[in-house]
Amino acid sequence: MATFDQRGQQVTYQYNAAGNINIGAVQTAPDLAGELGKLRNEVDKATESGALEKDVALDARYQLDKAVQQTEKPSPDKDALVGYLTTAKDLVAQVGSAAGLVAGLVQAIEKARVLF
C-alpha cells in the first residue's frame, strides 16, 4: 500500500467539479446557462483561495455573465457567446493552477458551438 507524506504542503485552489459540473450532458440553452453559473462559482472559489487575482476574476465573471445572458435570449448569437467564453478562458488561462477551470471553459465553448 502506497503512502504519501503531505506534511508541510500548501495547496491553493484546485478545480474539482466532482460531478457537479457536467457540460457534456447539456442539451438545451437553459442547461448551458446553469452549467455556466456553476463555472462562475468556480471562478469565485479560485478567487477566494488566491489562485485568481480579483481583477482577473471580475473580468472573467463579467464574460460568464454575458455568456449566460446570451443563452437566455430567444435567438442567441453563437459568435458572441463563443467570444464571451473564449475571453473568460483566456483570462483564467493566465493562472497555471486554474488549468481545470480552463478545461471546463473549453468544454463550454465546444458545447456552445454545437448547440447554437
Per-residue model confidence as pLDDT tens for the chain (116 residues): 555 454 554 444 454 544 578 888 889 999 999 999 999 999 998 899 888 899 999 999 999 999 999 999 999 999 999 999 999 999 999 877 677 888 899 999 999 999 98
Flag whether 26 is in a domain.
Answer: no
Q: With respect to residue 10, please indicate whether it lies within any of the assigned structural domains.
A: no
- What Cα–Cα distance (Å) separates residue 24 from each residue in 4, 14, 114? 33, 21, 11
Please name which of 17, 10, 55, 66 lies closest in space to residue 38, comparing C-alpha atoms: 17
Domain enclosing residue 50, as ranges: 37-115
- Per-residue pLDDT at 9: 44
Sign of CA pseudo-dihedral 102, 107, 112, 113: positive
Give the pLDDT confidence score for residue 4 in this predicted structure. 46
Number of independent structural domains in the chain:
1
Does residue 93 fall inside a structural domain? yes
Within-domain flag for 101: yes
Residue 30, domain member (yes or no): no
Which pTM value belongs to this model?
Answer: 0.81
Residue 69, in any domain of the structure: yes
Residue 20 lies in a domain: no
Distance CA 80, CA 26 (A): 19
Whether residue 1 is contained in a domain is answered as no
